[in-house]
Amino acid sequence: MSRGGERKTDDTDYVSEYQMEIENRIRNVVWTVCGDYTMEARPDLEKYRKAPDIALYDAVKQGAFARYFDREAVSMYLVKKVFLGADEGQLLNISQMCMEVAVGGRIASDFPGSRRLRRRAFTAELAADRERMAIHRIGQIKIALMERALESPKSGGTGGSPAGRASGRYEEDPYLAELTDLETVTETEDLIAQIDYLYNHWIDPSFVTRHGNLRQVLAVTVEEMQEFDWRDFLSEEMVEENLDQLLEKMSREMVAAPMQPEEAEREDGPTVRKITYVTQEDFEKVYGYIERNFGRTYLTPLEEKRRNFRFCKGIHSDCGLYYTKGILQSAVCRNYQYEYARKQMSKNRFTYCDCHRAVKQNIQALTDMFRKTLTLRDEILEVPSDYGTFVPARVWRAGRIREPRLFVREQKQEQKDFVIDILIDASGSQRPRQERVVLQAYILMEALSNVGIPHRVTGFCTFWDYTILQQYRDYDDDRDENEKIFEFTTSSNNRDGLAIRAIADDLLKRGEEKKILLILSDGRPYDVIANRPNARNPRPYRGGYAIRDTAMEIRKLRNLGVSVLGIFAGEEKDLAAEKKIFGKDFAYIKDISYFSKVTGRYLLRQMEE
């Protein structure tokens, strides 16, 4: 049995190492092409397993997309177009073809080695999906595009010479001919304009009349799409994703959008992804949605109701609290959010493995600092006194000094027990740095565990009416629980004042004399909720209104004896707001990698006082 178990572990390790090797290979392809080694790259291992050439060529196009165009601008346009009613599947298919034409020739010119990969990828895709694609007009155009590229000896652009592009198959297929304009496009604005034109011309000619032209599409604001965000969450027929995830999805599938024949053209016109108006029934579904996408609560219904009654008052009276240990710990079902959380956990662990040695060194250094300070506090000092052990050498002081203190006595330093709460902003604005947040939190958690200081770690975000508090470890948990911080994910908004109020209640009940709260945030409390019929309507929580509320909660805690440190890891423009919230006790961290060092110095100062 033990040998079998060891063999299984070895096999698992081998598979894990192989997957990591493939992930590194795909990331290196993306980074080499785009020239930016800080770019976010998410390898599709499942696609690589089924079709390695297609997956690698997708990686090449992903890098080229970022190299030649503004990836975020194109992704934002696609989200806005879908928000106004465009069919997502068809829009992505057209975008993918446009991107292929726009970057195909430039990739072949700048990276000649990609030509053979492109041919293999197109050959594999045609062999696997020709019949499915040939059913629909967009699929037929895509087939023609790939075949023309394969006919070209060098597989450079879409194939053929400039003279050939004016005749032959382009003349036979006017749809394919309209793509040729993209071969010379160099500006992102021109690429967006052509995608918009082709969608309106090929898929939905009435789109402009019903929803507006390109200028009106681009005029849609992020605030307007906040409404789309929660409606999208609540509709069972839509992909469960928030605005940040949708932007990321659009960016990724811009270069590898799958064909979706079930959403293709129909006799009664194009299928439009509709945004439905939220009713009272939708409102009643919110709690169930949160349970499915954030995990079950660990509170009893009575305790949950009691806490909501106590904390959701004043400006938070129309809000709710939801306590969970995360979707991976208490899942209701395996849905999109569950799979996303698993992938993010793998990415967090991969980042840890990549920096394993540095992380261990930081843990040891921080542990040694804590241990040294705590040891000094245990030392016994001899202080001059009017009683205790007589010291002959002090006799000369008698009659000459007002308080001669001829004795010494032993005195132990004042001992204080410590308890620490770490509250981490897990809203969507933290997404670009979430892996680094995980590493720094893990370093701090391990060091505190090594010296036996009880501490709790919680992430918070806000979706619709609910502020979700996800607990990664409780005060007195074993150090094994520290591993749960790798499940950290970010999403939605953040109602900082309510989260701080809820967290502080448990902290204040602790018996330790010295209580410390560390808050990592970007200095932007932001929770804007769209209007809903027959439902609660909290006032938009943002700007000075939100800053004042958060600052008030901090001051209340300090008046009760809690030491509060704000750790600012946002943009410099939000620094003034952070100062208003935390006063002088805050740290500005330009690089999140300094998180554990800064917090470590603050904790040492608290221990020494």
Q: What is the pLDDT of residues 79-124, one digit of tens each?
A: 888 878 788 888 888 888 888 888 888 887 788 877 888 888 888 8
Q: Parallel, antiparallel, or unpaired for β 455-463 and 418-425?
A: parallel
In this model, does residue 416 exceed pLDDT 60?
A: no
Place of tokens 């699929």: 139
Task: Give the range with max mean pLDDT: 14-18, 452-456, 565-569.
Answer: 452-456
In this model, does residue 405 exceed pLDDT 70?
A: yes
Distances in whole angstroms, Cα of residue 559 to Cα of each of 422, 552, 556, 599: 19, 11, 5, 21
Q: Do 550 and 597 form a contact (C-beta atoms < 8 A)?
A: no
pLDDT digits (tens, 9 = 90+) for 503-535: 999 999 999 989 999 999 888 888 875 444 444
Average pLDDT over residues 554-570: 90
- Kindly report, as residue ranges, where domains of CATH 3.40.50.410 are found in the chain: 287-366+416-608
pLDDT of res. 422: 96
In this model, does residue 239 exceed pLDDT 70?
A: no
pLDDT of res. 306: 94
Average pLDDT over residues 453-470: 92
Reduce the DSSP state of residue 600 to 3 states and report it: helix
> What angle separates helix 71-83 from helix 52-68, to the nearest 10 degrees?
100
Tokens read off for 277: 């108006």
Lowest mean pLDDT among 117-126, 374-383, 445-454: 374-383
Verdict on whether the full-model pTM lies above 0.95: no
Residue 35: DSSP 8-state: -
pLDDT of res. 526: 82
Residues facing residue 389 across a β-bridge: 408
In this model, does residue 543 exceed pLDDT 90?
A: no
Distance (Å, rounded) from C-alpha 61 to C-alpha 50?
19
Tokens read off for 184: 């010379």
Q: Of how many residues is the chain composed? A: 609
Q: How many CB atoms lie within 10 A of CB 589?
A: 18
Confidence of residue 303 (pLDDT cuts 50, 70, 90): very high
Average pLDDT over residues 216-221: 84
**Structure-model confidence comparison of residues 271 and 216, the more confident one:** 216
In this model, does residue 347 exceed pLDDT 70?
A: yes
**Structure-model confidence comparison of residues 62 and 496, the more confident one:** 496
In this model, does residue 348 exceed pLDDT 90?
A: yes
pLDDT digits (tens, 9 = 90+) for 187-218: 889 899 999 999 998 888 888 888 889 988 88
Confidence of residue 58 (pLDDT cuts 50, 70, 90): confident
pLDDT of res. 272: 38
Q: Across all residues in the chain, what is the average pLDDT?
A: 78
Confidence of residue 548 (pLDDT cuts 50, 70, 90): very high
Amino acid at 480: D
pLDDT of res. 280: 53
In this model, does residue 368 exceed pLDDT 80?
A: yes
pLDDT of res. 335: 82
In CATH, what class is 287-366+416-608? alpha beta
Tokens read off for 57: 């060529």
Q: Parallel, antiparallel, or unpaired for β 455-463 and 563-568?
A: unpaired
pLDDT of res. 309: 93
**Structure-model confidence comparison of residues 323 and 109, the more confident one:** 323
Q: Do 115 and 136 form a contact (C-beta atoms < 8 A)?
A: no
